[in-house]
Amino acid sequence: MKKYFLIFVLLCFFADMAMASEWELFAENNDQQYYVDKKSIEYCEVTCAWCIRCPLGTAERCMRDLPKHFIRVWTRKLSKHPEKFQAREELDFQEYACEKGMSRMLHATRIYADGTSDSVNLNVVVKWEAVTSDTMRELVHAYLCKKI
């Protein structure tokens, strides 16, 4: 029964994502296409509600680590020629801090060439990482931050 419930929840999650999506192709190379869901872009400010996401006893540190303004977005990467055990599609929910040049991943879903998938929901506070040059994150960061 738990298995069917989990499948139902995942189907609802992906159906909701698909219905509310407006995927815009913003980068492409010989192997992959990269998209941003324009409808998912959220411009956020830190509020006290963020304390809920912090591990017990670390709320002060957590609030100090958060930038005042940040952007949340769903991104999608499609592999044109995936290998057997390589993800053919990746969906990521990320946050970007424009003024600090930082980002972090909150959720990741991988759909593999053999039809299987896995998801990771990062409910704990994930540390912000510097956006590295010549990477996909740099392109997404530039795309989102030019809109501010």
Least confident span in 12-21, 26-35, 67-76, 109-118: 12-21
Q: What is the pLDDT of residue 53?
A: 47
Q: Span 55-61, mean pLDDT?
A: 51
Range of the domain at 39: 23-145
Overall domain count for the chain: 1
Q: What is the pLDDT of residue 93?
A: 92
Residue 77 maps to a domain: yes
DSSP letter assigned to residue 100: T
Class of residue 96 by CB neighbours under 10 A (exposed 0-12, middle 13-18, buried 19+):
buried
pLDDT of 36 > 90? The answer is yes
pLDDT over 90 for what percent of the chain? 29
Query: pLDDT tens digits for 66-99?
Result: 667 789 999 999 998 888 778 999 999 998 988 8
Residue 134 maps to a domain: yes
Residue 38 maps to a domain: yes
Residue 45 maps to a domain: yes
Least confident span in 45-54, 107-116, 127-136: 45-54
Q: Which of 100, 107, 108, 103 minimizes the C-alpha distance to 140?
A: 103
Residue 28 maps to a domain: yes
Largest separation between any pair of C-alpha atoms in the chain:
47
Higher pLDDT, 8 or 78: 78
What average pLDDT does the chain have? 77
